[in-house]
A = this chain, B = another copy of it.
């Protein structure tokens, strides 16, 4: 299993697990990031990619202003 968990760093600095078992990450043209889960569930966030660690299975996103 190579899916990763996605964490969102919020504007106040807190970190929240927003999706487990992410299989696809697609940045959009308006600064959003779409996450697709293993079972096809989707989540779109106003965020930028901070780090993607494939060894730790960890996707770190940072919230951006809408």
Contact = CB atoms under 8 A, between A and B. Distances in A.
Interface size of A as a range: 10 to 19
Interface of A is mostly: strand
B25 A55 contact: no
Contact of A27 (B4, B22, B50, B57): B50
A49 B51 contact: no
B51 A26 contact: yes
A6 to B, nearest CB: 11
A16 to B, nearest CB: 20
A53 B54 CA distance: 12
Nearest to A34: B51
Interface of A: 2-4, 22-27, 48-55, 57
